Amino acid sequence: MTDSAQERSPLAIVTGGARGIGLACVQALASTGYQVVAIDVPTDSSMPYSLSTNNDLAAISNHNIHPIACDVRDSEALTSHVQQLTRRWGSIQLVVACAGVLAGSTSSLELDREQAQEIFDVDYWGVTYLASATMESLRQTRGSFIAISSAAGVRGLPQLGHYCAAKHAVHGFLAALAREEISKGVRINIVAPGSTDTALLAATAQVYQLNSANEFLAQQLDPTLNTPADVAAVVAFLASDAASGINGAIIPVDRGFIG
């Protein structure tokens, strides 16, 4: 694709785009004609599992997927990248906030403080920084902001108190922002997946000392793990004109979670 053709294509930004649900969103949106900027790779982490790497990010680069290494906790760097992107493309039509981390312990009172802080810095502040950096451009295009949350954002899950709190905070923030931005033409929605076959789910299984993430299936009406593509399909729908009447919503993709 030529540079001029790229610049005529709608532009989407996806954080957490190097793997898991974020990567599936990147791929789904690219397949529908977006130029997609995939932002990922934390500078450091206290999480008890490996996060995305620069190699993961570089591997997804192609003519309509453009990786950028940036930590969503760095608001200045995030804003700088967004400004550079808008200078090149002119405007942003879609933003998907997918970067997230999870940690837990035998009691929500006992989680390591550094891990608890990182959960809020990535899962909550990362969303607010992204919204702040991109909202002006989204107003210009009457675009869409979608956050990937969790079933943990609508209920309390034992041993995951800080993760639940961060996701609940995202829901409260975006519910308020949706009411503020509706008059400016921006749609803001949340997708709340249940058990999805990702590294994050594997980490959750470790918190609960399960032999396999498949043990979570007992908490669902449909005993099937989501794939990342299942969640990405809902994101692609919410980003489309077919979903123009959906705003300020929390869309569960949890196969009937009853846990």
Q: Is residue 5 part of a domain?
A: no
Q: Is residue 47 part of a domain?
A: yes
Domain total of the chain: 1
Q: CATH number of the domain at 86, please.
A: 3.40.50.720
Q: Is residue 258 part of a domain?
A: no
Range of the domain at 23: 11-252
Q: Is residue 259 part of a domain?
A: no
* pLDDT given at position 1: 38
C-alpha distances in angstroms, 173 versus 8, 140, 180, 242?
32, 22, 11, 25
Q: Is residue 3 part of a domain?
A: no
Q: Is residue 143 part of a domain?
A: yes
Sheet holding 94-97, edge to edge: 65-69, 35-40, 11-15, 94-97, 144-148, 187-193, 250-253
Q: Are 23 and 52 in contact (CB under 8 A)?
A: no
Digit-by-digit pLDDT tens for the chain (259 residues) are: 345 445 578 999 999 999 999 999 999 999 999 999 999 986 677 766 667 888 889 999 999 999 999 999 999 999 999 999 999 988 999 999 999 998 877 788 888 899 899 999 999 999 999 999 999 999 999 999 999 999 999 999 898 999 999 999 999 999 999 999 999 999 999 999 999 999 888 888 888 899 999 999 999 999 999 999 999 999 999 999 999 999 999 999 999 998 7
Q: Is residue 234 part of a domain?
A: yes
